[in-house]
Each structure stands twice: as C-alpha cells, then as structure tokens.
Amino acid sequence: MPPLPDLMKQFLEHLEIERNVSPLTIRNYHHYLNRFLDFLHKRYPTLETISELDQEVVRQYRLFLSRYADEKGLTLKRVTQGYHIIALRSFLKYLAKREIKTIPAEMLDIPKGESRSLKFLDRGQLERFLAMPENARDKAILEVLFSTGLRVSELVRLNRGDINFDRKEFGVIGKGGRSRVVFLSDSAAYWVQKYLAERTDEDPALFIRTSGRRDAPLRLTVRTVQRLVEKYVEKAKLPVKITPHGIRHSFATDLLSAGADLRAIQEMLGHKSVATTQIYTHITNPQLKKIHQEYHRKKS
C-alpha cells in the first residue's frame, strides 16, 4: 500500500482530473488533510498505514480540532472544524472506491456549525444601494450582481464577448464545473453597455481596474469587488453589512418573495441541490406570514 502522503496526493489529483474540482477547493482540501497528517505524525507516530485508522484515532482528531489554537491563541470555528472532517470523509470515500481498507467515511459525523443569520437587502434598501455609484463601471457591477445572482468569483471571470446583449443573457461555469445560463435585467444590460462604450482599451475582461500598476493584469480581483461593495454599503448607510454574496442572497429572496419557482431559482443560482436553495424559503414565503397572521387572529 502506498504511504499516506502519496495516497493524499493521488486523491487531490483525482479531484482535479476526474471531479473537475476548483483550484481553491483543492487548495483547501490540501490544507485540511495536511493538518490531519501532522496530527497523526505527532500523536500516532507508529501508525504506518491508513488501514490502521480507527474510531479512537478519529475521536482524538476531533478533540484536537476542537482544542486547537494557533500561536496567537485563535481557535477553529465549528464550521471550519466541519470542513476538516468533510475533507477527511471525501478522502476515505476515495480510498473505499479503490478498495483500500480503512475506516468507513460514514462513521465520521460532521460537527454542526453555528447558526448564522441570512443577510440580505429588502427592496427599499436595494434601490438605495444601487443608486450609490457615480460611475458606469461600479453601477454596472452592482446591477449585474443583483440582476444575475452571480458569485463574485464568477463575475470577475467574465469577458466582454461572453454576453449576448440581444438576448440579455450569458453562460457561466460555476462550482463543480456546472454550467448555467443567467439573465441580465434591462437596467443591468444598459449600464454594462454604457460602461463598455466608455472603455478605450482592448482587454477582454468585462470589468477592469482604473488605477494601479501598469504591468499588472487589468481584470478586477474578487477582493476589489468586495471592497467596492463595502464602500457603497457604507455610503448608503445601510443597517445590514452586506457583501457580494449578500447581494446573491438578495437576488434569491427578491425572486422568491415575488412568487418565483424554487426550482427555477436553483437553476439560476447554480445550486447542485434544491435543498441548498430552500434556505431562502423560511424567510421569504409570504404564505407563511399569512398563515401566521390568520392563526394569531383566531387565537386572540
């Protein structure tokens, strides 16, 4: 049997080649599995093969993650501990498919993360937020984010030639290599075209920076768009500290509140499972509010 580090390397290569997993996910899995490997080297130096892994070793690893603190005393959040276990489970499933004997992945429970509130803007807040930019580029970015529900990583990868302005739509390759078609509102299409008409460069990127080093790529980075959104949230004096992903939440909640079909929104967001999309139904279903009001009127 190959040494454990070699098996992990083969697993990461499998994710890249066979599963078409994003480089960011592979990097994260590499980080999580390396931490597991370091734990084994320090706590179980005599453990030579993955077949020796058992429930007690896993239990000790869970304790290690729960009690972990770096040199600054920072601990791992419950959700981050969960990411470590998810990576280990995926690795064990890969080994099982290769008929390499080890502990079944199903024996590893994923720790529940802290409950987090879903941040989104209501219609009035959205209109105030979208009115903040004073230049065509920033206005186009905000309009496209809200019009399409794009992830910020998908937005910065867009090229000029990707968009069909006649049909006001374009294709996107999202998480897991899943493709989907997204649609521009009339307002978003107008501002993107206005912005492009002002451009004098020939860079293929749809959105580019207007300052910085001349020898650096012009394409906007994810962090630049995040800062841009933060700037206009502050300028609009919004009570919600929204992020680009919060605009994606706003896109979904706005559609659901208007009565859009959940499956259709799943497709537009690029969710693999409708269960992921269902998180929005608990806060946007007007029927739930109606039932709640009717129930309380009857009880009073």
Same domain, 178 and 268: yes
Which of 19, 157, 168, 175 is an active site residue? Answer: 175
Last residue of a domain, one of 107, 138, 157: 107
Residue 117 counted as domain residue: no
φ, ψ dihedrals at 115, nearest 5°? -70, 135
Residue 15 counted as domain residue: yes
* 228 vs 141: CA distance, rounded Å: 9
Weakest mean pLDDT among 20-24, 110-114, 163-167, 237-241: 110-114
Same domain, 137 and 83: no
Last residue of a domain, one of 47, 74, 107: 107
Which of 32, 61, 94, 280 is an active site residue? Answer: 280
Same domain, 189 and 268: yes
Same domain, 134 and 266: yes
pLDDT band with cut points at 50, 70 and 90 for residue 113? low
Residue 118 counted as domain residue: no
* 196 vs 13: CA distance, rounded Å: 40
Instruction: Give pLDDT, residue 70.
Output: 81
| pLDDT over 90 (residue 285) | no
Which of 84, 139, 248, 249 is an active site residue? Answer: 248
Total tally of structural domains belonging to the chain: 2
Active-site residue flag, 14? no
Any bridge partners for residue 205, and if so which? 159
Same domain, 184 and 250: yes
Contacting residues for 68 by C-beta, under 8 A, at least 6 apart: 75, 76
Residue type, 296: H
Which is it for the CA torsion 98, 102, 106, 109, positive or negative? Answer: negative
Which of 271, 295, 296, 297 is an active site residue? Answer: 271
Instruction: Give pLDDT, residue 300.
Output: 45
Active-site residue flag, 271? yes
pLDDT digits (tens, 9 = 90+) for 238-283: 988 889 998 988 888 888 877 788 888 888 888 888 777 777 765 5
Helix, strand or coil for residue 219?
Answer: strand
The enclosing H or E element of 172 equals strand 169-173
Which CATH number do you get for residue 234? 1.10.443.10
Q: Token pair for residue 12?
A: 């990461």
Same domain, 51 and 188: no
Residue 206 counted as domain residue: yes
Which of 35, 137, 139, 151 is an active site residue? Answer: 151
Q: Token pair for residue 3?
A: 């040494």
Active-site residue flag, 199? no
Residue 181 counted as domain residue: yes
φ, ψ dihedrals at 52, nearest 5°? -85, -5
Same domain, 144 and 46: no
Residue 295 counted as domain residue: no
Q: Token pair for residue 117?
A: 């509130």
Which CATH number do you get for residue 32? 1.10.150.130
Same domain, 133 and 174: yes
Length of the chain equals: 300
Full domain range(s) for residue 44:
4-107
Last residue of a domain, one of 45, 75, 107: 107
Active-site residue flag, 248? yes
Instruction: Give pLDDT, residue 202.
Output: 93
pLDDT digits (tens, 9 = 90+) for 188-241: 999 999 999 999 999 999 999 988 787 788 999 999 999 999 999 999 999 888
Same domain, 83 and 155: no
Contacting residues for 191 by C-beta, under 8 A, at least 6 apart: 136, 139, 140, 143, 144
Instruction: Give pLDDT, residue 125.
Output: 92
Same domain, 154 and 205: yes
Residue 115 counted as domain residue: no
Same domain, 64 and 13: yes
- Please give the model's pTM, rounded to 2 decimal places: 0.64
Q: Token pair for residue 70?
A: 């770096």
Residue 281 counted as domain residue: yes
Reduced 3-state DSSP string for the chain: CCCHHHHHHHHHHHHHHCCCCCHHHHHHHHHHHHHHHHHHHHHCCCCCCHHHCCHHHHHHHHHHHHHCECCCCCECCHHHHHHHHHHHHHHHHHHHHCCCCCCCHHHCCCCCCCCCCCCCCCHHHHHHHHCCCCCHHHHHHHHHHHHHCCCHHHHHCCEHHHCECCCCEEEEECHHHCEEEEECCHHHHHHHHHHHHHCCCCCCECCECCCCCCCCCCECCHHHHHHHHHHHHHHCCCCCCCCHHHHHHHHHHHHHHCCCCHHHHHHHHCCCCHHHHHHHHHHHCHHHHHHHHHHHHHHC
Same domain, 92 and 128: no
